[in-house]
Structure 1
């Protein structure tokens, strides 16, 4: 009986640890999220230097969909491994006061940046271009894709893959790309 209890306790601890922790700001944290000075141009360059893309994730305290994203998606090894290998992810608090420097040079707080860029849902993931835009534009205009909300594993992961592969530059819309990948997964027996 003690063995069963210890096994269950270990499983619970492992699940909680892989789902991240909750910081003082009330947001779930992943130890692989990047801590930066929140200068968007600098973050794009840092990501590019490592062969990665920049993604911003807006969250808020008490967001049940943010918790779901951390507990079900970011704790999935297939998802977490892909994101860590291909993306620099910086977390933003939709109502936070940390300083942010927009691509157009405006210095804002996280909450004024969210308002300026028009992000009202959490989580919202904003995908930035592979290079810093040549002209001075805001993040919302420079973004190559935005994913508002928490989706299932394959929609979530496929969006990251589509962005990393620059699918937005081609003729295949994300929804068509996603449907094609789902069919491939079914053919391989990975989905029913």
Structure 2
């Protein structure tokens, strides 16, 4: 019995641990998150100056699906590096009282912004274009929305689809068709 316990302990210690620190707000804080003043117009300008896409990640304290994304999906090297290289990520608390400034200039709490945008699920991700028309909100301007937790393959495909601006192409390949093609062509199982 002692040998079994030692073997089990050795196996558990060998498993990867994707511990992501929690902030004072109870949200996961991977080091690729940007700490900004939450003026989305300024965040978009900074993302553009770095040649990256603005990604608004909406989460809440105690969200088991947020935890799963931070434990099982975001830390995968292929996804982690893709986010770091291509996205400027700003985190919003679904129930946060801290203020943000929406693209339309309205200053409101993160909680009120999430309501205004119709966000009900966490995690949710809004992917922004390089330019937002005057008067638009983040939800109106978003080129894509990820409503909830996705598996690694779907997440990677959505990140790629947005980053490559496939939403703006004149082809018949919407995200679902693109994702189905990527599943067929993928040489590594990402648990689509």
TM-score (norm 2): 0.89
Distance 1:62 1:124 in 2: 15
Gaps of 5+ in 2: none
Shift of 1:89: 0.7
Q: Cα deviation per residue 1:71-130 (whole Å; 9 max; x = unaligned)?
A: 001111111010110001111110001111001000011000000010000000110112
Q: What's the offset of the Cα at 1:173?
A: 0.5
Q: C-alpha distance in 2, partners of 1:130/1:114?
A: 21
Name the structure 2 match of 1:154: 153
Corresponding residue number in structure 2 for 1:56 = 56
What are the within-5 Å matches in structure 2 for residues 92-171 of structure 1?
92-131=92-131, 133-170=132-169, 171=171
Q: Deviations over 1:120-179 (max 9, x none)?
A: 000001101122x23221111101100011111010111010000001102320000111
Shift of 1:19: 3.5
Q: Distance in 2 between matches of 1:38 and 1:54?
A: 12
Give the distance between the partners of 1:92 and 1:40, measured in 2 at CA. 11
Shift of 1:5: 8.9
The alpha carbon displacement at 1:6 in A equals: 8.7
Partner of 1:42: 42
| Count of residues in Structure 1 that have an aligned counterpart in Structure 2 | 185
State the secondary structure of the residue aligned to 1:22. Answer: coil
Return the alpha-carbon distance in structure 2 between the equivalents of residues 9 and 33 of structure 1.
29
Q: 1:182 offset after TM fit, Å?
A: 1.1
Aligned with 2:82: secondary structure?
Answer: helix
CA RMSD of aligned residues (A): 2.1
